[in-house]
Amino acid sequence: MDSSLILIAIVVAVALAFDFTNGFHDTANAMATTVATGAMPPRVAVIVAGALNFVGAFLSLKVAATIASGIVSDNLVTPAIVFAGLVGAIGWNLITWYFGLPSSSSHALIGGVIGATVVAVGLGGVNGSGVLSKVLVPAVFSPLVACAVAASGSYLAYRTVRRVSDEQASRDYRWGQIGSASLVALAHGTNDAQKTMGVITLALIGGGYLSGGNNFQVPLWVIICAASAIALGTAVGGWRIIRTMGNRITDIAPPQGFGAETTCAAVILSSAAVGFPLSTTQVVAGGVVGSGLGRFKSLSSVNWGVFGTMVIAWLLTLPGAALIAGIAGLAMVALGGAGGVTIVLIVAVAGSIGIWLAAQRDPVTPDNVNDVSAEEAALAGAGSV
């Protein structure tokens, strides 16, 4: 078999592995608030999210086009560069998952591809204007917009039910939450699965197996594989991050959960429609913070320590993933050829297994996902009115 074809096969496999980590890393985006309020049982929630992620992956391909041609120069990118970028993205995803930090899988992938490209061909291979307009600007404004709209939505939700008993309001809004959370899961598939489609397409173009330019087509088998991988990862459930998003930022009740999820779905779907590879994690986190502010009308309703740590992780995601990818790229150059790719792959797999084993010392499961310390519950505003 041709060595270039073997490399493409490795890249596709690693890309789908990233897509799987993207799924379980971002399950919290759709289902954290639903699990926290009891609107759906944890295991049911992640299965529903996985199914809707699969469906959502077929709704649009504009984000895939951005990843394939809008971030780096597709005529300069090789399958080896894409491979190193994916190693960086997976590494960052697993590190932040271990610490329960809802960082951006999207920015990890973009940062990884940029870092590997810079190491291989220099800064000239990066589309600076594309990174600024389609990545950095949306990264700043999308969580702010989600926060503001979710705050308004949660306030209105509580105004709507102010003459209804808390028990009835919670019961009715739980049904609404099932719908709104499902819409977020659909939106997540539409936005995030396309990024893997885009990076596989980029590798196929770099390997000469697909023509580039503005008229390229994402092959159907790529769409199906990417949709399946992210759906499977989502169904596994990233319980560590679900705990953070659903319980450690602010106390969440069904009306505000509904407001936050509806807001986030609207922002993510709007972004996907115009081809922005938005961070669904940042949007949902912004929505959760806004929902707490809208419900309690107090800054003390948010655990700013946890949220601040998340923001630091967001700021470090692009350079962190780029650094890991750059190291992988330099290692492949130093080791040379197929041997270099093989050794980097073995090290990456060993590192991934090591992080997973370390996480098992303090496992978070469907049975304890809503368990947080009394101190954290107080900082998140639990029990406030």
Rounded to the nearest 5°, which phi and psi values hold at 302? -115, 135
- Examine the pLDDT at 73 and tell me if it is beyond 90: no
- Examine the pLDDT at 384 and tell me if it is beyond 50: no
User: How many C-beta atoms surround the C-beta of residue 131 within 10 A?
Assistant: 18
User: Angle CA(296)–CA(300)–CA(303) in degrees, nearest 5?
Assistant: 110
Categorize the per-residue pLDDT at 112 as very low, low, confident or very high, splitting at 50, 70 and 90: very high
Residues linked to residue 72 through DSSP beta bridges, in sequence order: 126
Q: What is the pLDDT of residue 248?
A: 77
CB 53 within 8 A of CB 231: yes
Lowest mean pLDDT among 129-133, 147-151, 343-347, 372-376: 372-376
In the predicted model, what is the mean pLDDT of residues 351-374? Answer: 86
- Examine the pLDDT at 79 and tell me if it is beyond 60: yes
Q: Mean pLDDT across the chain, nearest whole number?
A: 85
Give the pTM: 0.85
Residue 2 burial (C-beta neighbours within 10 Å; 0-12, 13-18, 19+): exposed
SS3 content of the chain, % helix, strand, coil (to 5): 80, 0, 20
Q: At what angle do helices 137-160 and 280-296 cross, to 10 degrees?
A: 30
CB 203 within 8 A of CB 11: yes
- Examine the pLDDT at 355 and tell me if it is beyond 50: yes
Q: What is the pLDDT of residue 19?
A: 93
SS3 300: helix
In the predicted model, what is the mean pLDDT of residues 104-123? Answer: 92
- Give 68 or 318, the one with higher predicted confidence: 318
Q: Where are the beta strands (DSSP E) in 180-298?
A: none
In the predicted model, what is the mean pLDDT of residues 47-70? Answer: 82
Q: What is the pLDDT of residue 262?
A: 87
* Residue percentage of the chain with pLDDT more than 90: 27
Q: What is the pLDDT of residue 222?
A: 92
Q: What is the pLDDT of residues 140-170, one digit of tens each?
A: 888 998 899 888 888 887 887 777 777 787 8
In the predicted model, what is the mean pLDDT of residues 369-376? Answer: 70
d(CA 335, CA 338): 9
d(CA 194, CA 249): 29
Token reading at 341:
């790719």
In the predicted model, what is the mean pLDDT of residues 90-111? Answer: 91
Token reading at 21:
């980590």
In the predicted model, what is the mean pLDDT of residues 278-303? Answer: 83
Q: What is the pLDDT of residues 335-349, one digit of tens each?
A: 887 888 999 999 999
- Give 258 or 69, the one with higher predicted confidence: 258
Q: What is the pLDDT of residue 385?
A: 40
Q: What is the pLDDT of residues 263-277, one digit of tens each?
A: 888 888 887 777 777
Compute the Cα dihedral for 158, 164, 170, 174 and give only its sign: negative
Q: What is the pLDDT of residues 191-242, one digit of tens each?
A: 888 888 888 988 888 888 887 666 667 889 999 999 999 999 988 878 888 8
Which DSSP letter does residue 371 get?
A: -
Residue 234 burial (C-beta neighbours within 10 Å; 0-12, 13-18, 19+): buried
Residue 15, Cα to own-chain centre: how many angstroms? 14
Rounded to the nearest 5°, which phi and psi values hold at 357? -65, -40
SS3 336: coil
- Give 217 or 287, the one with higher predicted confidence: 287
Q: Indicate the residue type of 278.
A: L
